[in-house]
Amino acid sequence: MLRIRTITTTAAILIGIAGAIATVPDSIAPLRPVNSFYSIGIGKASMLDSYLSQLTYHGLDLRIGYERQQAMRFNPESWTQHLDLGLEYSKTDNPARNRSAHTLMVSARWGIAHRWRLPVEGLTLSVGPATSFDGGARYNRYNSNNPVSAQIRWSIDAIGQAVYNTRIGRLPITLRYRMAMPIIGCFFAPEYDESYYEIYLGNRRNIAHFASWGNRFDMVNEVSADLHFGNTVMRLGYRNVIANYDVSNLRSRHYINLFTIGLGGDWLSAGKGRRPDAAAPIISALY
């Protein structure tokens, strides 16, 4: 008897849900423009890598970056996805300026973030998880068996951004603060005076390290202003990078401060041969 009642109740609930769904009118899928930017950056780098030298090197840093954000399909108002790619080169000199180190790095970060529209008009806050990879090397050609310090890192990060859309006079402007901070991950580092020749011979002991704030701290901070000139947006920004680790009695301190300038904007693709539905709402990841 109890079983019959249970089946009846379940059927009633399912019929109710089906009825409710059937009564919802077909909604128009929102358009989710891709917000993409290409940027270049120039600034200063400060680098201490005790595998290469006991001294801190200072010099020029250059970066080419690509950034992409888009509202996500499943809940575009509240969730956005973020992609960052970068190619960075720095040439730094020792304090006596008679030796140079060259650093070349590629970086990639992908993540999603939940977006909240705050009570202040035009202000949003996004926070979420991400994963990132950095790979590259520092090179000091004057060193004998320690000329290179490979930099390989993968991590799970926290990302966040605060965006404020406003106007200066008649010019729409978007002010933004953005940060990314690895929480845990892993990275490569040889032992204190271990040569890469020994690693080449096959000794892989203690070269892959679990990364946590106990041995590694990385952070990227950016502030930027997007100036909207019609459909094209110019982005002016400041980027600060901190990449520090202490492992196997090795010490690495890398600070970068860049002025960046970029071009981009929101781009909409409706698919080949299709036109976007004029009635569809547009949900930008940023604006």
Partner 1 sequence: MKALRHISLIVVTLLIMALASCSNDDQYSSDPEANFEALWTVIDEHYCFFEARGIDWNEVGDRYRKLVKPEMTAKELFDVCAQMVCELRDGHTNLSSSFDVAYYRYWDAYPHNFDLRTVQENYLAFNYRQASGMTYGILPSNYGYIYYGDFMNAIGEGNLDWVLAELATTDGLIIDVRDNGGGLLTNVETLVRRFITERLYCGSITHKTGPGHNDMAKPYDYYFEPAAEGRQRYLKPIAILTNRSSYSATNNFVSIMKQLPQVRIVGDRTGGGCGLPFTNELPNGWRIRFSSCIITDAAGQLTEFGIDPSEGCKVDITEADVAAGRDPILERAQEVLSLMLTQ
Query: Which positions lie near partner 1, rule CB under 8 A?
Result: 42-46, 53-56, 58, 94-99, 142-146, 168-171, 191-195, 197-198, 200-203, 205, 223, 225, 227, 236-240, 248-249, 255-259
Q: What stretch of H or E contains 18?
A: helix 2-23
Question: CB-wise, 135 or 246, nearer to partner 1?
Answer: 246
The strand pairing partners of 238, in sequence order, are 223, 259
155 contacts 218 by C-beta, under 8 angstroms: yes
Please work out, in degrees rounded to the nearest 5, the angle formed at the alpha carbon of residue 275 by the alpha carbons of 274 and 276: 120
Cα torsion 103, 106, 221, 129: sign: negative
User: Which is closer to partner 1, CB of 77 or CB of 193?
Assistant: 193
Q: Which is nearer to partner 1, 113 or 287 (CB)?
A: 287
d(CA 158, CA 179): 8
- Measured from the CB atom, the residue of 96 and 278 that comes closer to partner 1 is 96
Nearest-approach distance from CB 233 to partner 1, in angstroms: 13
From the CB of 271, what's the least distance to partner 1, in Å?
37
Q: Provide the phi-psi class of 286: left if phi over 0, else alpha when psi is between -120 and 50, else beta.
A: alpha
Question: Smallest distance, Å, CB 210 to partner 1?
Answer: 18
Closest C-alpha to 152, from 229, 247, 231: 247
Shorter beta-carbon distance to partner 1: residue 74 or 200: 200
- Shortest reach from residue 89's CB to partner 1, in Å: 16
For the CB of residue 117, give the shortest distance to partner 1 in the complex, in Å: 24
